[in-house]
Amino acid sequence: MARLVQADLDNLNSAMESRSPQELLTWAKETFGARVAILSAMQRAGATVCHMAYATGVTMDVVFVDTGVLFQETLITRDRIATEYGLNVVTLSPDETMEDQTKRLGVLYLSAEGQQQCCEMRKSAPLMKAFGRYDALVASLRRGDGGRRSKVPILAIDQKMNCLRVNILANVSNEQLEQYLAEHNVIVNPLHSQGYATIGCNRCTTPVLPDEPKRAGRWRHLGPWAAYCGINPTDVDRGDEAVDLPQELIDRILGRKTDFVI
């Protein structure tokens, strides 16, 4: 195994800025083979990535975390995307139901500390069930979403999952995303047209007013202190991160040729 840190990806990230999302998706498949999957919450951008896989014929699993307290509309959207786009959706869930968790620990999502604990147990821990299965996860974070995502790189280190995140929509603007959704009649969660700018668990998501920030509807009851669940490493400060991958794979990621001297 060899070590890869975020700084190792700087030159590649610069070069990738001019590539289209579809080219990045194809690069991910060519580089990681069967060990790459899409990570989607079935929101607008995640559905776009799923559609791009379908439209380009780039086959890979779609990993979806079901916290057990998602909106029914989100689950229906997941099922439609799996069926109509012919994608293998791998659903990961927490071990404990929300009912049992509440009996054991109380209603966690009512405090900032409890929210972090709840998101860890119901979002991050279920994703860890896929640890070791993938070397890369294609995600749908965009700089156009602002906040912590305003500088998200295309390739990011995910130390916890020991894999790369490939944010193929990182430099796709809001207008470009809307254009793609409309042009391709992408399957979208119907809650988006009911004022939900972003969609998470039913306990912690509300619609937003037209002049509110997009993420104002997430953990609204906690005020501005809670904005992200922590499932995406670039949403939280974790310091210098690194992954350990086979040297041959790192060479492939970085486009290095290995010369053998006999």
Q: Which residues are near ligand SF4 by CB under 6 A?
A: 67, 69, 109, 115, 118-119, 122-123, 200-201, 203-204, 229
Cβ-contact 201, 69 below 8 angstroms: yes
User: Measured from the CB atom, is 69 or 191 closer to ligand SF4?
Assistant: 69
User: Measured from the CB atom, is 27 or 219 closer to ligand SF4?
Assistant: 219
User: Measured from the CB atom, is 153 or 200 closer to ligand SF4?
Assistant: 200
Cβ-contact 124, 160 below 8 angstroms: yes
Q: How far is the CB of 79 from ligand SF4 (least distance, A)?
A: 20
Q: Give the amino acid at 227.
A: A
Strand (E) or helix (H) holding 24: helix 21-32
- With b for 16 or more beta-carbon neighbours within 10 A and e for fewer, the 127-162 pattern comes to beebeeebbbbbbbbbbbbeebbeebbbbbbbbbbb
User: Measured from the CB atom, is 52 or 226 closer to ligand SF4?
Assistant: 226
Residues, the chain = 262
Cβ-contact 256, 10 below 8 angstroms: no
DSSP 158-198: ETTTTEEEEETTTT--HHHHHHHHHHTT----GGGGGT-SS
Which of the following is catalytic: 118, 119, 163, 229?
229
Q: Give the amino acid at 52.
A: M
Q: How far is the CB of 38 from ligand SF4 (least distance, A)?
A: 21
Q: How far is the CB of 186 from ligand SF4 (least distance, A)?
A: 24
Spatial separation of the C-alpha atoms in residues 17 and 168, rounded to whole Å: 10
Q: How far is the CB of 155 from ligand SF4 (least distance, A)?
A: 27
User: Measured from the CB atom, is 149 or 203 closer to ligand SF4?
Assistant: 203
Residue number of the CB closest to ligand SF4 reads 201
Q: How far is the CB of 69 from ligand SF4 (least distance, A)?
A: 5
Q: Phi then psi for 213, rounded to 5 degrees?
A: -60, 150
User: Measured from the CB atom, is 122 or 142 closer to ligand SF4?
Assistant: 122
The verdict on whether 229 is a catalytic residue reads yes
Spatial separation of the C-alpha atoms in residues 231 and 123, rounded to whole Å: 6
Q: How far is the CB of 118 from ligand SF4 (least distance, A)?
A: 3
Report CA Rg, the chain: 18
Catalytic sites, residue numbers: 229
